[in-house]
Structure 1
Amino acid sequence: MDAAIKAARARNAEIAAWRSGTASPRDVKRIEKRHTVDAVIAAFKEARWPKLKENTRTQYASKLRVISRWAGSERMDLITRQNILAFRDALYAPRDGKVHENTAHGTLRVLRTFWDWAYRNEHITANPAMGDMDISTPAPRQQFASALARNALVDAAMALGRPNMATAMVLAWTIGQREEDLLKLLQSRYDVIESYEADDPAVYARLAAREPDGRVMGIRLRQGKTDRWVGVPVVGEARQQLEAAIAASRALSLTTILHDEERERCWTCKDFDERRTRATQFQRAFGAIRDRAMQDTLKAGDSELAAEIADLQFRDFRRTCVVTMGQRGIPDHLISAITGHRLDTVKKILETYLPRTTGMAMLAVDLTQERAPRQIGRESKSA
């Protein structure tokens, strides 16, 4: 009898803890009181999660956790406009001497989406998050890597014994793909581009003539906007680094072009949580290379270049690809064929980040003269 009473009391304590949300078995969901913010968040996830992509779900989940910490146990229909504005002000308040504007803006965007969904699905009778909330939009990133910065980063990667990471950076600013797509790029995507695939045989001949083996090699990519396969040539030193990276991955019996040299495994995998962990490890590997490049440039006395490198993130190399091609006079639609950007996105990037220089003016005049029709007989007439 004593043992039974003791066991019953322990079970009652477990149930009480479960109801309060302080403890629960992993396979049992926490009970949510009806009409609270947490209860509506649970309903929102159940309705919207299947329709969202993995990355979007991750971003929403992060912001919804912040909202839950703020008001999860409160009745949603009792939260006022003033409560939400106070939450906004708290998000924009400096922490550690810095305003985290991007985090605040992203959280408030999810809050507005969530409250709008709750209103449209009759969880609340009024939407206090509707209308202008005076949310400042963070300035877009403007960083792109100059030629000197790119050289310094590659040199730093090689000095740290990370040639595969050097290839990752070179590919990023050469073919302009997103980090996630580069990390899962398979070796089978690297293939010969045949002459019949060229719109202009003369262009194909020039590309082939520059390669020692006379072959045009490239990476076949499915462009997300058009869902079409495009073969993007990889030439010169970039091709050499790419082939060295493939050889190193094959030696480890890996199928991707890029791999984690420290752990000798792919940067990506099927499990979502593990894939996020590996993505974080990739960012740390890039951070170590960036730090080494900064140190080397500072030792060389170039503080301006060191400051430029310090501001770079791996995602900036996609923009770098667009700007570099723009500086060389490549038309917008050809840039879009490589990077997969929409044409209007390419135009916005170039309008925002592409400096107008004397060198560009010289290139424009040079191309104009080169492509101008020949005026036959003019010389003989003047003579």
Structure 2
Amino acid sequence: MQHPFLTDRSRGFLPSPVRDVWEASMQPGVISLAGGNPDLALASLDWMADASARLVRDRPHEVLQYGSGYGMTELREAIVELMAAEHIAADVDSIQVTAGSQMALDLVTKVLCEQGDTVLVEDPTYVGALGTFGGAGLRVEHVAMDANGLVPDALRERIRRLAAEGRQPRMLYAVPNFQNPKGVTLAPERRPEIVDICRQAGIPIIEDNPYGMLAFEPRTVPSLHELDPEHVVYLGTFSKVLAPGLRVGWAAAPTWMRRSLQLASESTVICASPYSQAIAAEFVTEQDFRAAIASAAAVYGERAHALCTALDEHLPAGSTLTKPEGGFFTWLTLPEGWTTDALLDAAIDEQVVFVPGAAFCAPGEGESELRLAYSFESPERLAEGAQRMGRAFARVAASRPN
């Protein structure tokens, strides 16, 4: 029962499905395929310890005081350089620094949407976005994806149908590169079409790109932002390429949004941590960040291959598994009639956990799908996790009616 002091809007905040299986994943001997955590052991952090001591010693009145509402100039310049390494052009004035990209998404949602508005998302989509939109009291409409990402015709039809209902979407939220949770990438030839569809319909795009630099092989794919920087808000983060504990992210915003975004940020946290910002800036300006990120991405690629290859031997007939080319996740679709409820119980008994797909999907969908993360465990542990999943599959199959 809702407490009378709480608002109806508070009901929209959703629990994280990763947190829901957190307790099970922390039990001794359990292999977690649930959380998409970067592996901090893949790079030396000695430079960060040295930088921390030096910053506190030499620049305490700068990094331990309040800072700019936009973010430190040195970090904003470093972010432009980081984006350029992924062939994405941005100017320093467009960068709004935030305490992680989740905060950036929350701020963008606040300045673009009113309670009751409609937003478009991929199906499935990032569960953190669903939590943000639910907490803002928004109506979420999912748009179909396939192996090449968001389907333009499906987007066009969904916009047409909503227009017929008198509902103009306020924005499209998308994760084009190595999508969370599905692991797929929006095909290059679809990107201009997606931008054009939204431009013609008057719908701004929120391009969330936490995994873009974690490609297993070198590639050049146009960002949605560079196709139309006045229509696309770009979200980035240091969480996946450096350390999530720093809580440093950003938005590259169109000119018409920048002042509103700054004021929204100041009203939320006054300023993102200057101390964390200075550390993140040194990662770009003083470290070989390109080599560090490429090295980590290569390891994630080995782990993705290890998990997907091992799983192929155990999947029930009729299953499909995405083959990611970067990022942290793969997506498993079980045969018709299977559900993740029974499978999760069996998996926990076998000491392996995953995130059920329903958490990322429209209501009533995703019941036979699940997200598997490979970023944190070793190839050997992932292979063992696949074997444990195989035993869970066998237990569920044995319990199904003939």
What is the TM-score with the length of structure 2 in the denominator?
0.21
The structure richer in helix per residue is 1
Structure number with greater CO (CA < 8 Å, separation at least 6) is 2
Larger radius of gyration: 1
The structure richer in strand per residue is 2
What is the TM-score with the length of structure 1 in the denominator?
0.22
